[in-house]
Amino acid sequence: MKAFRPEVLALRAYSMEEPALPVKANQNESPWDWPKELKREALARLAATPFHRYPAFRGSRLASLLCERWELPEGSCLLGNGSNELLSALFSSCLCEGRTGLLPSPSFSLYRQLALLSRGDVREVPLSEDLTYDAESWLDALDRVRPAVALVCSPNNPTGSLLSLADLERLLDRAPGIVAVDEAYGEFSGIPSAATLLPGRENLVVLRTFSKAWGSAALRLGYALAQPRVTEQVSKALLPYNVSPLALALGEAALSRREFFEGRVRDLIRGRSELFEQIVGIEGLRAYPSAANFILVRLQNLEAADVHSALKSRGVLVRDVSAHPALRRCLRISVGTPSEDAAVVEALKEVVACPAPTSMP
């Protein structure tokens, strides 16, 4: 084990609980698979792909289509094997010993791991007590810490909180380095993407994914938008042919059905409001307003681990996020189909009204 870097040995590997239960509300996936006819069409595109050749080196058609969709110049879009790969490339192209990555807290746990693997120092900006972004503390931290990269997750996982574009502009004006905005859940927020600020903003990188609103987590397809001079630098930290031509072909098929997937996003947002209302109506629960496809719930008296396992025994899998000190007694619940949401509410009512005995210390 001596061969491994101390920071690697010190990390806990990212992992996921995966029991097959009737309601899977733990990973913020789309509750709907692609329609069969779209799968057929996508597979036809795939069949037209030559399998014996390497794919286009970088300038794939999908990247060009995304530049068009975002009205950005060619070269502004970098594709990744999931948006996480681009985040990793961004950190490894900017961070090193003596440089700092500034992260929100609580947020997506992978950020910290990737920043540490890049040998960067990590500093965190806490969310406010109500788990919203506090722009003033970010401005203050930018001045104090002078980070090479400041990463904002908006809407934030697991709180669902948003940083407004006006506040983001203040951060961009003040930041000494890159400001990256992870918009993995951006389509659910109802506000314009930070990508609309890209013309004229060389220090902005926006990360987006096909995994959530596009119902395509299995494809492993994400993208970064930035000015071409910036994508050129980040691309140096990516391996050649990082995105499979299989994902490219299927991603193009998804993109050709933008209106269909936008309709699903509207349905999900409607479901989110209904689920939120139902949860706040249950005594003993607090729900945080969310701009994403999940809702953070705080239990007033019960322990998250107990409720998590009681829900599991009722066929409902949610995410226990209570390990973070600011998220004590908190669970994160992905919005599902109306019938899945109804099952979640039913199970929550049962468990919270009639809790299992609290585990012994």
The three-class DSSP label of residue 192 is coil
Which range binds ligand PMP by CB under 6 A, 66-74, 82-90, 116-124, 309-317?
Answer: 82-90
**In sequence order, which residues have a C-beta less than 8 Å from that of residue 208 and are 6 or more positions away?**
83, 183, 184, 186, 193, 195, 222, 223, 224, 225
Give the contact letters, 38-67, x = binds to ligand PMP (CB under 6 A), - = no.
------------------------------
Which range binds ligand PMP by CB under 6 A, 77-85, 95-103, 117-125, 280-288?
Answer: 77-85
**In sequence order, which residues have a C-beta less than 8 Å from that of residue 128 and are 6 or more positions away?**
134
Between residue 170 and residue 199, which ones bind ligand PMP under the rule CB under 6 A? Answer: 182, 184
Pairing of β 285-287 and β 222-225: unpaired
Q: How far apart are CA 213 and CA 215, in angstroms?
A: 5
Whole-number CA gyration radius for the chain: 21
Chain residue at closest Cβ approach to ligand PMP: 82
Minimal distance in Å, beta carbon 333 to ligand PMP? 14
Q: Which residue type is seen at 79?
A: L
- Nearer residue to ligand PMP within complex by CB, 138 or 188: 188
Residue written as token pair 């494809």: 219
- Nearer residue to ligand PMP within complex by CB, 224 or 351: 224
Q: Interface with ligand PMP includes 327 (CB under 6 A)?
A: no
Q: How far apart are CA 66 and CA 74, in angstroms?
A: 9
Minimal distance in Å, beta carbon 356 to ligand PMP? 29
What tokens appear for 101 in the block? 């990555």
- Nearer residue to ligand PMP within complex by CB, 86 or 351: 86
Give the contact letters, 258-297, x = binds to ligand PMP (CB under 6 A), - = no.
----------------------------------------
- Nearer residue to ligand PMP within complex by CB, 75 or 222: 222
# of chain residues touching ligand PMP (CB under 6 A)? 12
**In sequence order, which residues have a C-beta less than 8 Å from that of residue 12 and are 6 or more positions away?**
none
**In sequence order, which residues have a C-beta less than 8 Å from that of residue 309 and are 6 or more positions away?**
356
- Nearer residue to ligand PMP within complex by CB, 133 or 351: 133
Q: Interface with ligand PMP includes 118 (CB under 6 A)?
A: no
**What long-range pairs does 304-307 form, CB within 8 A, spacing at least 24?**
304/328, 304/329, 304/330, 304/331, 305/359, 306/355, 306/356, 306/358, 306/359, 307/331, 307/348, 307/351, 307/352, 307/355
What tokens appear for 279 in the block? 């949860």
Give the contact letters, 127-166, x = binds to ligand PMP (CB under 6 A), - = no.
--------------------------x---x---------
Give the contact letters, 195-234, x = binds to ligand PMP (CB under 6 A), - = no.
--------------x-x-----x----x------------
- Nearer residue to ligand PMP within complex by CB, 84 or 322: 84
**In sequence order, which residues have a C-beta less than 8 Å from that of residue 173 and are 6 or more positions away?**
none
Residues near ligand PMP (CB under 6 A) are 82-84, 108, 153, 157, 182, 184, 209, 211, 217, 222
